[in-house]
A and B are shown apart, each in its own frame.
Chain A
Amino acid sequence: MPFLPVFLWTDLLIYLLLAVVLVAVIYIRQYPHLRTPWKLVLQRKRGVISIMVLLCYVSIGLLDSVHFRQALEIDKDGDTQHYATEVMTLLDLAVLPLRQHAEKTYSSPFATRSFVREMQSAETGQLSYDYPLLVHAGSHLQVEQDKSADIQYRLMINSVWALLVWALVLLIFLILTAKRHAEPYLKTLRQIGSGQTEYPLRTAFSMLLGILLLSFNLVDLSVDYHVLGTDKVGQDVLYQSLKSVRTGLVIGTLTTLVMLPFALFMGITAGFFKGWVDDVIQYIYTTLNSIPGVLLIAAAVLMLQVYMNNHPENFVTVAERADMRLLFLCIILGITSWTGLCRILRGETLKLREAEYVLASRALGAGSFSILRRHILPNLMHIVMIAIVLDFSGLVLAEAVLSYVGVGVDPSMISWGNMINSARLEMARDPVVWWSLSAAFFSMFTLVLAANLFADVVRDAFDPRMQAGR
């Protein structure tokens, strides 16, 4: 076999989550009343934009979640197949040049020379103290001065390609829709152009064009340049930003996955059954809430660290170690953060259980479980949905802060928090090394903003009163 698949714990959980989402989508599509709110989400411009941005992030994250070890060449004497100790992902394969084009140390975006001066000897043997040429970036240029001309030329060519692909997609779409509605192409095109379609197709296509332009240019330029510069050990910052996406997504989604059952179960039970059940649950979350979160996380992470050091045989690769720590971080973050949602859910359940439709249902003879399932839970789902999406952005940010403090993900794992952590010292440098920090900032910012916008649109769409207003 040319490769050995590696299933990390977080990978499995991500696949599980993906499966759940897919099943949910199939389920929702069957019922018109469940489909309507999602249709509303897709009918709003903000919804379409945020979904497209999120999809980009998710696909990067998913590519980065397929792990494997490449096979090594078989030695002459031995006949057993050995595999590389380094765990690769599909994303690594896709951006192989980025991964391999490491420089010696810092270089600014699109630079051809290093950021730091160095003693170097010319061919003549003369020593000079100057900025050395970079090993990979700009190595294809005949003359260094051609750089800007080369970049402009490539930008143009790539943009033309992007436009062509975009036009092709548009054309295919036109042909398909025009055929379905039996309308002339031009009319359909005019409808899209004037924004008179049922879904905001104009926005979707503009967004698609933007994404295509960006990705085409990035892909092509990143082969020969460091588009976002390099960090202290010469690693490409664009590569780091891409690798961080998975870490952020895992923290954001898996933590919620861990937290949700606690919060839902405890919150609803406390609110619905009241009495001593309520007292016990309230006692638990009040106690848990009074422990400083960072302290608990630090203690847990350090304990795990000790365990991993004492049992190295359980972890074959560095990636597995790092992954275990990531998973553990998710769990501990989940355990410390369910109390807020639990409290909200308890309050809401207390209100709902007295609602007249619950009384009517009890008068009809419905049991507690059926009331919880039919009346309480569906009316809490919008709160859960909003909490998940809002928590998501909060958790992505929390990861950055924790890694910065040093109790976050494993130092070997690329994450936005680690990027910021390693870049912070360079902020004091003159001239300042700004690209690491900005890259982390912007990729995180885009994700969080898109998630928040998405949360907004989802909430509006699921609020029955808002639907009436439209």
Chain B
Amino acid sequence: MTSALLEVKGLKTWLGDSDNPLRAVDGIDFTIQRGQTFALLGESGCGKSMTALSLLRLNPHPASRILAGQIYLAGQDLLTLSEADMRHIRGRRIAMIFQEPQSSLNPVLSVGDQIGECLQWHFNLSGDKLRSRIISLLESVGIPDPEQRIKEYPHQLSGGMKQRVVIAMALAGEPELLIADEPTTALDVTIQAQILDLLKQIQRDTGMAILLISHDLAVVAQVADYVAVMYAGQIVESASRSQFFEHYQHPYTKKLFAALPTEQKRDQRLSVIKGNVPVLTQEFTGCRFVERCEQVMECCESNVPQWHEQQNHGVRCHLFDSEKSVEQSIVQQAINSSPLSEVLPADRLVLDVKSLKVHFPIHKGLFQRVVGHVRAVDDVSLSLRQAETVALVGESGCGKTTVGKGILQLVPVTSGEVNYQGQILNKLSERELKQHRSALQIIFQDPFASMNPRMTITQIIEEGMSTKHLGKDVAARSKRVDDLLDRVGLRPEHKHRYPHEFSGGQRQRICIARALAAEPEIIICDEPTSALDVSVQAQILNLLREIQHEFGLSFLFITHNISVVNYLAHRVAVMYLGRIVEQGDRDEVLNSPKHPYTQALLAAVPELDEDKQRSVIRLSGELPSPANPPKGCHFHQRCPKAMPVCSEQYPTQTELSQTHEVRCFLYEEYEHGSTDAT
């Protein structure tokens, strides 16, 4: 027996009918050693989840078939086992956790019952033994007070807790291999850091191997021992982590790294991968990346590249074929970037938000009496200059989206002022407001949901114009639609198509075109790239930068992605539970954060470069409910530097420099000239 725990050879899983199959997984080989964390990295649709499902033979049936290959688990071929035998493998020797903890838990069963199910089936435990095992499992995944939690139902737990329960369920069978399919994608950064820590710690304690499936280079850099990159159903590169991150070689991998937004790339366009992922229903005669590759050679079109391995670093690319005399210069060719100067904001204020409050009433009882308020946004002040990008950063549920909607008057504002060009928008009547509507536009996170599926692209874009009574005559309008589509990089011939005929990135471009159609001054971008792949994200970010240059737009960029902020923003505001706790220039906030929450948030962001990684500041607990915020500073219960005064009153604003403001008692004395609290 080898030391390899799992060996996959030539696995092929095809979807669809046999005439026109979709080659989702098309001949992949990899080996996972015991106790190793093996990361499978790839963009959406590359077949990484299908690989994971195939390992357990849980691939959708009859929609897909495993056509060829062997999967050896400690020497035993799983593909030859009967379905009944497989049931003793699943959960017992290989366990799996999914992306969305909400949907992997059954809402009508208590936490204890769900974990117990696996224990009853694999170990025949019952009664007290079962109970004590469940409690010890919950303890091992760091759930406080497990005796109580055992009786609770999924809806009573927060997102991070649910993912812990899911991990506990997976651990119940004491598996040798844990397959984690994007385990932290649906979670906030601070929770993500906790879960990744937990996985590492469990691996240390039990010595099990982990197959981590992810699209996030930084997450992989944090936890993986060995990395494999998938593209269009095949593994194109694999190496140990240190080797991979220092000497990534495949053109696709290079492009992926180049597409990542960082602080250093602020003065240039992000590198994008041209074209789209090839349709997997075709039979490939050459390299799958050939149409998008910048180092393409003659043989790439005609010959399928073989796997070339040197010192445990494998690449599927003709560039590394030792038989072909490839000039080293081509191999080393750097990815060229085009410069794009930074936008310099003008000094003119276009939007001034003063102590904005948005409270949603909570109705209860027979007569729907108001019993309280959800303080989604509680006293937020922001300003936006022309051609400036202000990033609003925070975890989910902190109210950052509501700020955006409040500014646009899409939700009723409780109090405060939204001042645009001397007009207080929230005081205007519906009729007066209409004249200013088109000046403020919004781009949403989910390009799939933000377009009416029953309208063509023309109709969608024309909506922006017709509501402003722009261009009554048909020819001029159609010309403008063409221009806008051209501007956002889409072909005007496609204007009579419906949104569902486009890919995610293209749809987001259409949404941008719709916003531009109204000739706005301010665009509120509500996580416009978080539903997109890295390479597509780069395209959208480039486009946003370009239109900012061209039209002098101001962006309020709502996001949780710090690297995007670092690339795009001029100023940053950090929000916690309905309030801005720190705001200032990007450099000040991101490179020398002052508020403990900002520090913890930034520390939790996984970094590609291990040296750069700040030591994680552990935040205990989760975001409190905005319906019932804690007394005093909202953050004091989780704050590592909490002082007695923090639980009594809310700190006032402290100006650290002309641009940098923070709300924390640590710095209040500083301002009054007493001793430095840090």
Chain B residues lying within 8 Å of A364, measured Cβ to Cβ, are 437-438, 441, 463-464, 467-468, 514, 518
Q: How many angstroms from the CA of A148 to the CA of B437 in the assembled complex?
A: 82
Whether A359 and B453, one on each chain, are in contact in the complex, defined by CB atoms closer than 8 angstroms, is no
Tell me whether A76 is interfacial, beta carbon within 8 Å.
no
Contact of A378 with B by CB under 8 A: yes
Are B449 and A357 neighbours in the complex by a CB distance under 8 Å? Answer: yes
Is A464 positioned at the interface, with any CB of B under 8 Å from its CB? Answer: yes
- Give the total of B residues in contact with A, Cβ under 8 Å: 35
With A and B bound together, what is the CA distance between A251 and B441 in angstroms? 49
CB distance from B477 to the nearest CB of A (A): 15
B501 close to chain A: CB less than 8 A: yes
B454 lies within 8 A of A379 (CB): yes
Complex: how many Å from CA A32 to CA B464?
22
Most chain B CB inside 10 Å of its own CB: which residue of A362, A370, A381, A468:
A362
> Do most interface residues of chain A lie in helix, strand or loop, or is the interface mixed?
helix
* Assembled-state Cα–Cα distance A356/B401 (Å): 12
Give the shortest distance, in Å, between A29 (CB) and chain B (any CB).
16
Task: List residues 422-460 of chain B with CB under 8 A from any CB of chain A.
Answer: 430, 433-435, 437-438, 440-442, 444, 446, 449-456
CB <8 Å contact, B444 and A378: no
* A367 contacts B by Cβ under 8 Å: yes
Does A366 make an interface contact (CB < 8 A)?
yes
Report whether A363 and B440 are in contact in the complex, using a CB–CB cutoff of 8 Å.
yes
What 0/1 pattern do residues 406 to 433 of B give for CB contact below 8 A with A? 0010100000000000000000001001
Chain B residues in 8 Å Cβ range of A32:
496
Given contacts A370-B467, A464-B454, contact A363 B498 (CB under 8 A): no
Report how far A464 CA is from B453 CA in the complex, Å.
7
Q: Is A180 an interface residue (CB 8 A)?
A: no
| C-alpha gap A362/B501 in the complex (Å) | 25
A 1-48 contacts with B by CB, 8 A:
32-33
Nearest residue (CB) in A for B514 is A360
Please report the C-alpha to C-alpha distance between residue A370 and residue B434 in the assembled complex, in whole angstroms.
13
Partner of B450, one of A33, A357, A468: A357
A29-71 contacts to B (CB < 8 Å): 32-33
Query: Is A365 in the interface zone, CB < 8 Å from B?
Result: yes
> Whole-angstrom distance from the CB of A356 to the nearest CB of chain B?
4
Q: In the complex the two chains form, is A366's CB within 8 Å of B454's CB?
A: no
Q: Is the CB of B500 within 8 A of A468?
A: yes
Chain A residues with CB below 8 A from B518, complex form: 364-365
A294 interfacial by beta-carbon distance below 8 Å: no
B501 touches A468 (CB 8 A): yes
One of B433, B454, B496, B511 near A360 (C-beta < 8 A):
B511
Query: Is there an interface contact between A465 and B500, defined as CB atoms closer than 8 Å?
Result: yes
Once A356-B449, A360-B450 are accepted as A-B contacts, the answer to whether A33 and B456 lie under 8 Å apart by CB is yes
Could you say which residues of chain B place their CB within 8 Å of the CB of A365? 433-435, 437-438, 467-468, 518
> Can you pick out 15 interface pairs between chain A and chain B where the beta carbons lie within 8 Å of each other?
A33-B456, A357-B449, A357-B450, A359-B405, A360-B442, A364-B441, A364-B468, A364-B514, A365-B438, A366-B467, A374-B452, A375-B452, A378-B454, A464-B454, A468-B500
Q: Which 10 pairs of residues, A with B, have the shortest CB-CB distance?
A: A365-B437, A356-B450, A356-B444, A378-B454, A464-B453, A357-B452, A365-B467, A356-B449, A468-B500, A365-B434
**Beyond the given A360-B511, A375-B452, A378-B455, could you list 17 further A-B residue pairs with CB under 8 A, ordered by the A residue number?**
A355-B449, A359-B410, A359-B444, A360-B441, A360-B444, A362-B410, A363-B440, A363-B442, A364-B441, A365-B467, A366-B467, A367-B434, A374-B455, A381-B454, A465-B453, A465-B500, A468-B501
Residues on B lying within 8 angstroms of A by beta carbon are 405, 408, 410, 430, 433-435, 437-438, 440-442, 444, 446, 449-456, 463-464, 467-468, 496, 498-501, 511, 514-515, 518
